[in-house]
Homo-oligomer: A and B are copies of this chain.
Amino acid sequence: MKKHNFSAGPSILPQEVLLKSSEAIMDYNGNGLSLIEISHRSKDFVDIMEKARALALELLGLEGKGYKALFLQGGASSQFLMVAMNLLEKRAGYLNTGAWSAKAIKEAQMLDDIYEVASSANANFNYIPKGFDIPSDYDYFHCTSNNTIFGTQIKDFPKTDIPMVCDMSSDIFSRVIDYSQFDIIYAGAQKNMGPAGTTLVVVKEDILGKVSRKIPSIMDYKKHIGAGSMFNTPPVFAVYTSMLTLDWLKSKGGVVGIEEENEKKARLMYSEIDLNPLFTGFAAKEDRSNMNATFNLTNENLKETFDSMLKEAGISAVNGHRSVGGYRASMYNALPLDSVKALVEVMSELESKA
């Protein structure tokens, strides 16, 4: 029986995507060969790559606006370095909203001067700093839109004239925002877009080519753009499965359609956290993430009972990250409302038992 999968990433994918992707491993397109044993230069795969790139721009509303989409390897962790390599000439400003922001800062600092414009480290990152200044002579500003570990999410992005770079690994394609306010968006696929193994990078072309450093080829966005996202052999399976997931999202009404479902799921989840006296939310209310709800038991003695009830109900992967503790329900695009209903039911059943 299929479980209710609240995994924070790699995470749930639509069942129909899994089915198509599984079939392609045995035979792709009826051509007598597996998807993973054909050349990445074959028409079959080039079509997949081009469709994935086009779908990404279309779903973000960035078609015809000077952006290119790339499916690279190496995860957000590689982007921490690539962003700085491609954009950092003198100094950049970073917003520190948690573990992943901090890593982005650390890697960029190896290359040049980084200024932390604001940080919520003083409260274990349970909120999003607001009202900070972004100096207009910096090379770029970097932020993390959603903090998977802490369950916070930036609702209003700051206004600035310098290039804005955003790590959207855990909430890309989940909500309607003006994606054209960003110059680089990057996201590991394994949360809202596909399996682990590829990273979407959306780059506004005209911000490139302005640094004096020699950029190694594999780190150079221009090289990847020039090669149509095939500078070297791409991660075929991860790109194909991401393409299927983006296609599924389009069929659900795109970002507009999925946002409505995501809001329903988040409302249900947070109202249970707020109304049930046995639970308390971790993140500041106004900064709560619609993707990752973090919460704790008010009485730790109930942990064993709650955990066994969760297990019985087929609810999987709701344990919190070690730096926050408690529980975390990750409600990515592919998670059905019914899974949230099942979790909320167990929470309310615990209340009636206690």
Which residues on A are within 8 Å of B, measured CB to CB? 1-3, 5, 7-13, 18-19, 21-23, 25-26, 31-34, 36-40, 73-78, 80-81, 103, 106-107, 110, 188, 190, 195-198, 214, 216-219, 231-238, 241, 314, 316-317
Contact = CB atoms under 8 A, between A and B. Distances in A.
Contacts of A18: 25-26, 34, 36-37
Contact of A23 (B11, B22, B78): B22
Contact of A22 (B7, B10, B26): B26
A13 B8 CA distance: 31
28 contacts: A7-B37, A7-B38, A10-B37, A12-B37, A18-B25, A18-B26, A18-B34, A21-B36, A22-B25, A32-B314, A32-B316, A33-B316, A36-B195, A73-B197, A74-B218, A76-B232, A77-B218, A77-B231, A80-B218, A106-B217, A107-B217, A110-B214, A190-B236, A195-B236, A197-B236, A197-B237, A235-B235, A237-B238
A204 to B, nearest CB: 24
A201 to B, nearest CB: 14
Given A10-B233, A39-B317, A73-B75, A33 B3 contact: yes
B110 A216 contact: yes
Contacts of A8: 39
Contacts of A23: 22
A338 to B, nearest CB: 15
Contacts of A26: 18-19, 22
In the complex, the count of this chain's copies comes to 2
Contact of A196 (B21, B22, B235): B235
Interface SS, A side: loop
4 closest A-B pairs by beta carbon, nearest first, are A197-B235, A22-B25, A36-B195, A73-B73
Contact of A25 (B25, B107, B234): B25
Given A2-B33, A18-B25, A196-B234, 19 more contacts: A3-B31, A3-B33, A5-B33, A7-B37, A9-B233, A12-B37, A18-B37, A40-B196, A73-B73, A73-B74, A74-B218, A77-B218, A77-B232, A80-B218, A81-B216, A107-B217, A195-B237, A196-B237, A197-B197
Given A218-B107, A231-B77, A232-B77, A10 B38 contact: yes
Contact of A218 (B9, B38, B78): B78
Nearest to A78: B218
Nearest to A334: B37
A31 B188 CA distance: 25
Nearest to A217: B107
Contacts of A198: 197
A31 B197 CA distance: 22
Nearest to A75: B232
Nearest to A332: B37
Q: Among the interface residues A19, A232, A234, which one has the most CB atoms of the partner chain B within 10 A?
A: A232
Contacts of A190: 233, 236
Nearest to A235: B197
A301 B80 CA distance: 54
